[in-house]
Amino acid sequence: MKNKLLLFSIGLVFIIIFIIFYKGLQNTNIYSPETKINYEVPLVSVKLFNSNKIVNTKEIFNSDNYYLLNIWSSWCVPCRQEHSILMELTKNDNLNVIGINYKDTKKNAKNFLNELGNPYDEIIFDDKGTNAIEWGAYGVPETFLINKNKIIKKYIGPLTNNSMEEINLFIK
């Protein structure tokens, strides 16, 4: 009787351990930051790429137009991949494309834009990466669709043809 009780107890312990590990495998431990949708554009002072002038983000996103804020860098391979889509999006008159040049040098960024073209109406120079953090970004590329000073959509990673179609549907 004692042996049966011991075997039953050991079996029960193994079943409980198995259930705990099985449940643990189903829970992801991958961190993904909160996607801020319908939040106001962050109010921060930024340095413009071409003029080194310090302006407030309210001065850049100052109308009811649609804006596409793209965080990019010359050293970023996916940024290179999405660049043709940004160039295509600039053809839409209802969309202003703004860039944040993230943790880059001006020389490398200028070479990148000279090689691939400049889709940006304005570029914010973020050599330390602090402006991108204010937006809730955690890497490059990331893109935000903005209307009436509110973030209405966030794209993590490079833009694709599908995201371009979605952006065009938003701004029609």
Residue 3 lies in a domain: no
Residue 73 lies in a domain: yes
146, 154 contact by CB (below 8 A): no
Residue 8 lies in a domain: no
- Number of compact structural domains in the chain: 1
Q: What is the pLDDT of residue 35?
A: 53
The three-class DSSP label of residue 65 is coil
Residue 86 lies in a domain: yes
Q: What is the pLDDT of residue 172?
A: 80
Q: What is the pLDDT of residue 98?
A: 96
Q: What is the pLDDT of residue 11?
A: 86
- Radius of gyration (C-alpha) of the chain in whole angstroms: 23
Q: What is the pLDDT of residue 31?
A: 47
Residue 103 lies in a domain: yes
> What is the pLDDT tens value at each position of the chain, 172 positions in all?
778 888 888 888 889 888 888 887 776 655 455 555 557 888 899 999 999 899 999 889 887 789 999 999 999 999 999 999 999 999 998 899 999 999 999 999 999 999 999 999 999 999 999 999 888 888 899 999 999 889 999 999 999 999 999 999 988 8
Residue 80 lies in a domain: yes
Burial class (CB within 10 angstroms; exposed 0-12, middle 13-18, buried 19+) of 71: buried
Domain membership of residue 159 as a residue range: 39-170
Secondary structure letter of residue 74 according to DSSP: T
> Tokens for 163?
């995201």
Residue 26 lies in a domain: no
Residue 132 lies in a domain: yes
Provide the CATH number for the domain around residue 121: 3.40.30.10
> Tokens for 61?
């996103």
